[in-house]
Amino acid sequence: MSEVSVQQANDRETMLIHTPFHSRSSALNKLNSWENWKGFMVAHEYDDYELEYFAIRSQTGVMDLTPMTKYRITGPDAEAYLNRLVTRDVTKIKVGRVGYTVWCNSDGQVMDDGTIFHLAEDEYRLCSYTHCIDWLMWSAEGFDVEIVDETKQVAALAVQGPTSCSCLMAMGLEGIENLKPFGLTTFPFEGGELMVSRTGFTGDLGYELWVEPALAEALWDQLFAAGKQYLIRPFGLYALDMARKEAGFIQAAVDFVPAEDQVRVGRTRSPFEIGLGWLVDFNKPFFNGRKALLKEKENGSRYRFVMLDIEGNKPANNSFILNKKGKVIGTVTSAGWCPSAKANVAFGQVDAKYGEIGEELITEIYYERELHWTKVLAKSVVVKGPMYDPPRRRATPPAPF
């Protein structure tokens, strides 16, 4: 069997969708390490996840973002509909801006978090982790809006790191250095349009590039040609996970259970319980979950989200969190060593009466080396996020490299 035939056979066996960048990303994936992201085949690791992580922090890292679920919402009631759907005030997200938000069910439990792109008058794009078209359509009853799942119709790249702006400037995107955080703009590209937003999931200077699939390979080629002098390199989901923990970003289905996915009652969380209470705006009109969230604000929450600085360097994955008397008060949802911050960080859910900034807790860690398991009761301090927050993340224009 020829090499091409073998590849085609392997592709059929995966039953995963190739993104428009697959011809380029597969050529660079030396480990042939892939992951299923909502039905798409994306790189988990290209050659060395640690080097990929450091590309994000000291060079430019590029990740295929195409599988991110994307919905186009248009119509005269688009703003009113979104304002009814999500917890923050959508009227404050002006044209050419992006807003981070969450949306809840009627019990005030988080369905998902995501970003709202205000593309034009009465035109938005909602990006999320979960596939939520049914919920969006049910919530649209009575509103004059059209909702289209455009996930497969939009190819996207995350371009992150201190030299990311320099790469885009070298690519010929004039004025990109003036784009402010959470801003978006467009450029003509190969007979079509390239949209660029100053957004990302790494906590560093970074951008996301959005283009029609037919132009994806040209975008990849031009970006990597322009970024060669800046040591541009692709990164996978493993490196992204390291960066987002360091930046204090939570992830759906990891740090909280989306309300539609829960199997057992009581496993979901409200925005207040995952550290996103600042996204709940009670000054705007009625929105999904408002009554339940008002009641929770008055009576108190069940849980509190904490970020822990843990003694030592053993990651606290899936660990119990204890108070000083040794009683279990919560669990770790995400954990890892943060190379740039030089800290052993963990996100956790604890009983609401614990978790004040500066409070000392204990994390029960188990780790295995050479078939031998060791238990560590590590001193842990509740810290005010994020562990890594460089000034260049907000600088406009960013410093040249």
- DSSP structure class, residue 229: G
Kindly report, as residue ranges, where domains of CATH 2.40.30.110 are found in the chain: 303-385
Residues forming CATH 3.30.1360.120 domain(s) in the chain: 17-66+154-247
Mean pLDDT along residues 152-181: 98
Q: With bands split at pLDDT 50, 70 and 90, how would you rate the model's confidence at 385? A: confident
Over residues 188-193, the mean pLDDT reads 98
**How many CA atoms lie less than 13 Å away from 327 in the CB half-sphere?**
6
pLDDT, residue 3, reads: 46
The predicted structure's pLDDT at residue 400: 82
- Band (pLDDT 50/70/90 cuts) for residue 15 is confident
Does the pLDDT value for residue 24 go beyond 50? yes
Q: Give me the pLDDT at residue 14, please.
A: 64
Q: What's the pLDDT band for 13 if we cut at 50, 70, 90?
A: low
Q: What is the pLDDT of residue 8?
A: 47
Mean pLDDT for the stretch of residues 155-180: 98
Cis peptide before 397 (omega within 30 of 0): yes
Q: Which CATH number fits domain 17-66+154-247: 3.10.310.30, 3.30.300.30, 3.30.1360.120, 3.40.50.2300?
A: 3.30.1360.120
What is the spatial distance between Cα 288 and Cα 108, in angstroms, rounded to a whole number?
7
Given the candidates 2.60.40.10, 2.40.30.110, 2.40.50.140, 3.40.50.1820, the CATH classification of the domain at 303-385 is: 2.40.30.110
3 is in an annotated binding site: no
Report the pLDDT averaged over residues 77-103: 98
Which residues have a Cβ under 8 Å from the Cβ of 337 and sit 6 or more positions away?
313, 315, 343, 344, 345
Pairing of strands 69-74, 146-149: antiparallel
Pairing of strands 184-189, 328-338: unpaired
pLDDT exceeds 90 at position 326? yes
Closest CA to 208 of 68, 28, 16: 68
pTM of the predicted model, to two decimals? 0.94
* pLDDT for 391: 96
Average pLDDT on 105-110 reads: 96
Question: What is the band of 82 on the pLDDT scale with cuts at 50, 70, 90?
Answer: very high
